[in-house]
């Protein structure tokens, strides 16, 4: 690989930017909140604004099936909105507009000739994280040394195959951080993804492009991945819904890894959906997991159909983790979590139990991190240096050296796996002791931070470590009139919580995270639906 990494990166970015038609280009640079601006440039006509702004997934699909809207009209509208979104926030990588509209034309012809839709997602544009393979398209995942790797991609990712079988249209791939292991989606090819709520805040990582695009309604549903919070961190940063399913429940096969395949790390990376609406997320999960070819396309997927009709107990017992002493959370988020718990406590469907004596998030994070760096070749970092490109700021300033060298194989790996199992058993004991249905906890020590300051991710990573399904629900916002920051220092990481700037943080999304036990994904979604109604729809 040549050392002229800038030339390679610039050529790749230019080749993608040129796929945006001239008439879809925005006229000026925007430097603040971009929500609401998409309709102001004259790029979207009134019908396209309505298509992208006014419907949930089922409503949109119904209009396509009835021929009130064509698949081409819908694909064009969302392609335009995605083009605007990526110009505003740098959220997309590969732009598949031409292919999407060609696919939509085929779907329209199919409907006309057969008198019925091709599948239950007929004509719905869906975005996927850059790591998901699409034949003939790069999956650089932010590495300059991976530019051109489409030559090695001989098949689509399992979830892409399923989505196409269901009738969906893939119109874009979305941006990630180099290594896919930081809370800020930046790389030296496509640049930094921005938070549409406030461009000075991170969009999160590693599925930051996906969450940013979904928040802007450039896609109603997107597919991300998560090994330490990479779906939930962007979701809580941007204010959308995102779920980390139990490992092997959702199809994952066909993703570009930043490191060696079949590494010894016993923490599974999973794919999962990010959505603008919780009903949409549940609908698409049901279709994907009940697809007849799902386990054929993904060999290690558990053959467990999605059961959307699961019944909840009359009273849902919620174990609340306000914060872990070793990983304190910032005052704005603490207020938001307390407000959420108060709302649930006043609703007869919920019983609140404040948890004490739960496992240390510090210990969980340290165990997980050691397992993440268990590859002695450290290829996720080595792949950066192959091109001569520099390390992005969120990697270089993270202070990861405090955790020491990678574990020695095999002795320390065995010890870490034993610790992992011990931590999981302690959480299961808590569920059993209090007969809990769900745990409610923060998803991070703070809300969306300024760029490169997100820091570590103990409040999401612990659930990857123990393989519990977990999801983020947006709720509340930072309020500059009442909220303060403490600049809390976490005792085992040189990262500090970002300094509070009232103007920067004001209006940033709040959230809650819900967690159920392994394989209770359907229960988690049912509880999330009821929780969302209480928190955001005032029932």
Residues 127/210, Cβ–Cβ less than 8 Å = yes
Residue 408: CA atoms inside 13 Å, Cβ hemisphere, count? 1
Q: List, as one string, the DSSP characters of 226-260.
A: ESSSTTHHHHHHHT-EEEEPPTTTS---SB--SS-
Region of 259 (left: φ > 0; alpha: ψ -120 to 50; beta: rest) is beta
Catalytic residue among 131, 206, 207, 219: 206
CA distances from 485 to 238, 435, 447, 473, 489 (A): 20, 35, 11, 22, 12
Kindly state the tokens that stand for 536: 């955001």
Kindly state the tokens that stand for 457: 């991710």
360 is in an annotated binding site: no
Catalytic residue among 80, 129, 362, 424: 129
Which helix (H) or strand (E) element contains residue 271? strand 270-275
Q: How far apart are CA 248 and CA 387, in angstroms?
A: 34
418 as an active site residue: the answer is no
Helix count and strand count (H, E) for the chain: 18, 13
185 is in an annotated binding site: no
Q: What is the DSSP letter of 314?
A: S
Rounded to the nearest angstrom, the gap between the alpha carbon of residue 473 and the centroid of all alpha carbons in its chain is 12
228 is in an annotated binding site: yes
Report strand pairing: 186-187 vs 316-320.
Answer: unpaired
Kindly state the tokens that stand for 164: 């196409």
Where are the strands (E) in 268-407, listed by range? 270-275, 316-320, 350-354
Closest CA to 330 of 322, 319, 320, 339: 322
Residues 209/91, Cβ–Cβ less than 8 Å = yes
268 is in an annotated binding site: no
Residue 390 φ/ψ, nearest 5 degrees: -80, 160
Rg (CA), the chain: 22
Q: What is the DSSP letter of 317?
A: E
Rounded to the nearest angstrom, the gap between the alpha carbon of residue 418 and the centroid of all alpha carbons in its chain is 29
127 is in an annotated binding site: no
Q: Collapse the DSSP code of 350 into the 3-class scheme (helix H, G, I; strand E, B; otherwise coil) and give the result.
A: strand
Catalytic residue among 71, 85, 212, 230: 230
Closest CA to 332 of 500, 524, 160, 171: 500
Q: 37: Cβ–Cβ under 8 A, 6 or more apart, which residues? A: 30, 88
206 as an active site residue: the answer is yes
Q: What is the DSSP letter of 144?
A: G
Q: How far apart are CA 314 and CA 299, in angstroms?
A: 37
Kindly state the tokens that stand for 86: 């990526």
Residue 269 φ/ψ, nearest 5 degrees: -80, 140
230 as an active site residue: the answer is yes
Closest CA to 271 of 303, 224, 229: 224
457 is in an annotated binding site: no
Residues at the annotated binding site for substrate?
180, 206, 227-230
Residues at the annotated binding site?
180, 206, 227-230
Catalytic positions, please? 129, 206, 230
């Amino acid at each position: 690989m040549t050392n002229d990494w800038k030339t390679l990166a610039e050529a790749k970015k230019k080749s993608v930017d040129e796929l945006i038609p001239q008439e879809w280009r925005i006229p000026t640079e925007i430097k603040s909140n971009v929500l609401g601006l998409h309709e102001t440039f004259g790029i979207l006509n009134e019908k396209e604004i309505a298509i992208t702004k006014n419907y949930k997934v089922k409503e949109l699909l119904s209009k396509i099936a009835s021929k009130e809207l064509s698949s081409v009209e819908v694909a064009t509208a969302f392609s335009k909105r995605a083009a605007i979104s990526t110009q505003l926030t740098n959220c997309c990588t590969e732009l598949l507009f031409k292919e999407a509209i060609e696919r939509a034309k085929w779907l329209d012809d199919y409907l006309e000739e057969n008198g019925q839709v091709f599948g239950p997602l007929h004509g719905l544009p869906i975005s996927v994280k850059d790591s998901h393979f699409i034949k003939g398209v790069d999956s650089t995942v932010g590495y300059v040394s991976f530019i051109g790797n489409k030559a090695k991609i001989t098949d689509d990712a399992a979830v892409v195959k399923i989505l196409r079988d269901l009738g969906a249209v893939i119109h874009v791939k979305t941006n990630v951080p180099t290594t896919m292991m930081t809370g800020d989606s930046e790389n030296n090819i496509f640049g930094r993804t921005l938070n549409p709520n406030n461009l000075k805040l991170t969009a999160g990582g590693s599925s930051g492009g996906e969450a940013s695009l979904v928040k802007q309604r450039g896609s109603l549903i997107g597919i991300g991945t998560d090994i330490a919070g990479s779906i939930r961190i962007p979701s809580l940063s941007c204010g959308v819904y995102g779920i980390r399913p139990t490992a092997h429940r959702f199809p994952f096969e066909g993703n570009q890894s930043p490191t060696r395949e079949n590494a010894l790390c016993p923490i599974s990376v999973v794919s999962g959906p990010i959505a603008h609406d919780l009903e949409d997320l549940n609908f698409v999960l049901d279709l994907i997991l009940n697809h007849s070819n799902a386990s054929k396309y993904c060999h290690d997927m558990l053959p467990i159909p999605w059961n959307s009709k699961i019944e909840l107990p009359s009273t849902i017992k919620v174990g609340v983790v306000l914060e872990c002493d070793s990983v304190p959370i910032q005052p704005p988020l603490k207020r938001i979590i307390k407000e959420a718990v108060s709302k649930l406590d006043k609703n007869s469907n919920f019983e609140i139990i404040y948890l004490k004596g739960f496992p240390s998030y510090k210990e969980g994070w340290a165990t997980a991190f050691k397992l993440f760096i268990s590859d002695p070749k450290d290829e996720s970092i080595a792949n950066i240096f192959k091109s001569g490109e520099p390390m992005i700021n969120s990697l270089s300033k993270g202070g990861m050296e405090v955790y020491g060298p990678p574990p020695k194989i095999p002795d320390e790996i065995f010890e870490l796996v034993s610790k992992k199992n011990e931590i999981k058993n302690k959480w299961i004991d808590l569920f059993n002791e209090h007969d809990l249905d769900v745990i409610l906890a923060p998803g991070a020590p703070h809300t969306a931070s300024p760029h490169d300051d997100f820091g570590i991710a103990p409040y999401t990573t612990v659930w990857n470590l123990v393989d519990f399904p977990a999801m983020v629900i947006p709720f509340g916002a930072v309020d500059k009139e009442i909220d303060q920051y403490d600049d809390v220092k976490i005792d085992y990481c040189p990262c500090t919580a970002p300094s509070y700037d009232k103007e920067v943080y004001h209006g940033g999304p709040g959230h809650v995270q819900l967690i159920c036990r392994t394989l209770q994904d359907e229960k988690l979604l049912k509880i999330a639906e009821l929780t969302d109604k209480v928190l955001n729809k005032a029932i």
